[in-house]
Amino acid sequence: MSQDHPVTRRKFIHAGASTVAIGAAASAVAAPALARTAGANQRLNIGFIGPGGRGQDGHIRPLAKLRSDGAPIELVAVNDVYTVNAEKAAEQIRAATGASPKKYDDYRELLADDDIDAVCIGTPDHWHAKQTIDALNAGKHVYCEKPMTHTVEEAFEVVKNWKATGKVMQVGVQSTSLPVWEKANELICSGKLGKVLMFQTEFFRNSNIGQWRYYDLTPEMTPKTINWDSWLGVNEGLAPSIPFDRAVYAQWRRFWPFGSGMYTDLFVHRTTSMLKATGLRFPRRVVGAGGIFIEYDGRDVPDVATVVADYEEGVQGLVTATMACSNTPIRQLIRGHFGSLVFGNGEKFSGFHFEAERSPVTLDSSIKNEEIEVGDVDDTTYDHQKNFVDCCLHDTPDKVNCPPDLGAAALTTVKLGARSYREGKVFHFDPETQTVSDGDASWAKHWEEKSRARGKPNHVAGWNAGDKGSLLIDPDYQNLEGPWIDGVDPIS
């Protein structure tokens, strides 16, 4: 990291104390305050790869605010294949910092700059894995927008390189910086819900023009202002060479070669949060369904979709949405034998509701409905970037709020759902070998054998509640159960 930044340790402490996002609620899940261990003159130089709309609003804006709040960071370089976006990002940085960033035509030139310590990646999905791996191997810390990668296989390559390099990496699922998920996980592991059985989550939208077509097409978008082959990644084998099309460039989430519609743009948000709350990671069986039922605008991706994922811990995940009905969503919640945690809808939660099951089931009249307040985060995007910066300055890759292994798990769930929809298959996933296979009867057979053996339920990682809420009671008349061998009553 470079030195000689004018912000002092004392100034940063006072600036941090005055901002909402560094309050008690946010710090419950964030890394320690920058000023505790960062040197008084230390600074972090950050570059931006693909700073389009998301890169400007979700990367440059919060980081510029962090800098003005006293964080020892500098925004020093931009790279974008679209010259208009590159200049907009550079001007945004100039206006916020008073300094002009370097502009690079190729992201690899930016990565070769030894003065840059970290990068934020805001390119389309199909570029995420390559640029992330290149950045990690160039010795840079990485903030990469969700989804972490375009394919399941790429996700594991990113995780492998992240572990090998030891660099900090944050996946841009901003809602994981909310403290509610860690509180939910604490309650789940302590047996608050009893045996955890299911999570359900959603992302409902509506539009009269079709999803992702609200990204404007402008006359300035031409092959003269956009390096089309570089955007496609033709030389890197990331996409085939196709004629230039403004809609493909600006609305790429509608098309399979570059994104996966709601699966990776929207489902990955909610799925990541549910995995963080439950402690679940990789699914063992995934099926997807849906179709293009109204948005006949030339898109590839469905406007109605559902993913059902089954986990070895004996939990099912349901992720469902329609892009044409926003006023009647399902509730986000986690269900257990003794009760459920109900989060409602959206992504900003200061707490949640515990809905108890009836006492004849729980056999415990003290288990009652409860409102659980955790604390608010004013701006999750700011807080997520702050967490990333904290970890870069402290060299604590294990303290990020959305690490690559969590990003890979969420990506695996939603991407296999998308593949299932497209290929008409059920998929099994083996987390040990990191391989995908076509589904068969083995999943159902496994649970049937466990039942016949009168086994005990599996539990999520971190479970410390013994058998609480996990074992059923045999009524006395079940003593009459059993096969009659040679006509002999089993109770005789």
Query: Taking residues 403-432, what's their average pLDDT?
Result: 98
Identity of the amino acid at 368: K
Residues with Cβ < 8 Å from 419, sequence gap 6 or more? 288, 425, 427
Instruction: Report whether pLDDT(260) > 70.
Output: yes
Closest listed residue to residue 470, CA positions, set 281, 279, 186, 191: 191
Please tell me whether residue 143 adopts helix, strand or coil conformation: strand
Paired tokens of 460: 């999520």
Please check whether residue 120 is in contact with residue 52, taking contact to mean a CB–CB distance below 8 angstroms: no
The reported pLDDT for the residue numbered 39 is 41
In a domain, 267, yes or no: no
Closest listed residue to residue 270, CA positions, set 414, 86, 476, 417: 414
In a domain, 53, yes or no: yes
In a domain, 287, yes or no: no
The reported pLDDT for the residue numbered 42 is 82
Phi, psi angles (nearest 5°) of residue 454:
55, 45
In a domain, 388, yes or no: yes
Look up tokens 């409905």; give the residue. 369
The DSSP-derived string for 235-254 is TTTSS------HHHHHTGGG
HSE of 488, CA atoms in CB hemisphere, 13 A: 5
The reported pLDDT for the residue numbered 492 is 85
Instruction: Report whether pLDDT(344) > 80.
Output: yes
Lowest mean pLDDT among 33-37, 317-321, 388-392, 448-452: 33-37
Look up tokens 């059902």; give the residue. 308
Identity of the amino acid at 325: C
Closest listed residue to residue 73, CA positions, set 59, 90, 55: 59
Residues with Cβ < 8 Å from 359, sequence gap 6 or more? 365, 367
Query: Taking residues 245-265, what's their average pLDDT?
Result: 97
Q: Enter the pTM of the model.
A: 0.90
Identity of the amino acid at 78: V
Domain CATH for 61: 3.40.50.720
The reported pLDDT for the residue numbered 285 is 98
In a domain, 384, yes or no: yes
The reported pLDDT for the residue numbered 38 is 40
Please tell me whether residue 24 adopts helix, strand or coil conformation: helix
Phi, psi angles (nearest 5°) of residue 479:
-65, -20
Which helix (H) or strand (E) covers residue 406, if one does? Answer: helix 404-423
The reported pLDDT for the residue numbered 41 is 53
Look up tokens 């096969």; give the residue. 483
The DSSP-derived string for 154-202 is HHHHHHHHHHHH---EEEE-GGGGSTHHHHHHHHHHTTTTSSEEEEEEE
Q: What's the CA gap between 319 and 306, in Å, rounded?
A: 6
Provide the 8-state DSSP code for 56. I
The reported pLDDT for the residue numbered 33 is 35
Q: What's the CA gap between 29 and 383, in Å, rounded?
A: 10
Instruction: Report whether pLDDT(377) > 50.
Output: yes
In a domain, 483, yes or no: no
Residue 67: which domain range? 9-177+379-400
The reported pLDDT for the residue numbered 18 is 32
Q: How far is CA 221 from CA 84, 247, 424, in A?
A: 8, 10, 37
In a domain, 325, yes or no: no
Paired tokens of 236: 């890197």
Residues with Cβ < 8 Å from 307, sequence gap 6 or more? 263, 267, 271, 286, 287, 288, 317, 318, 319, 320, 413, 414, 416, 417, 418, 420
For the chain, the residue count is 492
The reported pLDDT for the residue numbered 248 is 98
Please tell me whether residue 436 adopts helix, strand or coil conformation: strand
State the total domains in the chain: 1
For the segment 172-220, what is each residue's pLDDT rounded down to a tens digit?
A: 999 999 999 999 999 999 999 999 999 999 999 999 999 999 999 999 9
Closest listed residue to residue 468, CA positions, set 337, 355, 278, 313: 337
For the segment 123-175, what is each residue's pLDDT rounded down to a tens digit?
A: 999 999 999 999 999 999 999 999 999 999 999 999 999 999 999 999 999 99
The DSSP-derived string for 461-485 is TT--STTTTT-----GGGGG-S--B
Paired tokens of 198: 């299911």
Instruction: Report whether pLDDT(296) > 60.
Output: yes
The reported pLDDT for the residue numbered 96 is 97
Provide the 8-state DSSP code for 226. B
Paired tokens of 436: 């995908």
pLDDT, averaged across the chain: 92
Paired tokens of 226: 């956009």
Identity of the amino acid at 383: D
For the segment 3-52, what is each residue's pLDDT rounded down to a tens digit?
A: 443 333 333 333 333 333 323 333 333 333 333 334 445 899 999 999 99
The reported pLDDT for the residue numbered 4 is 41
In a domain, 133, yes or no: yes
Look up tokens 């202002």; give the residue. 225
Q: Where are the alpha helices (DSSP H) in 325-403?
A: 359-362, 380-394
For the segment 365-375, what is each residue's pLDDT rounded down to a tens digit?
A: 999 999 999 99
Please tell me whether residue 47 adopts helix, strand or coil conformation: strand
Greater confidence, 36 or 1? Answer: 1
Q: Which residues pair with 315 in a beta bridge?
A: 311
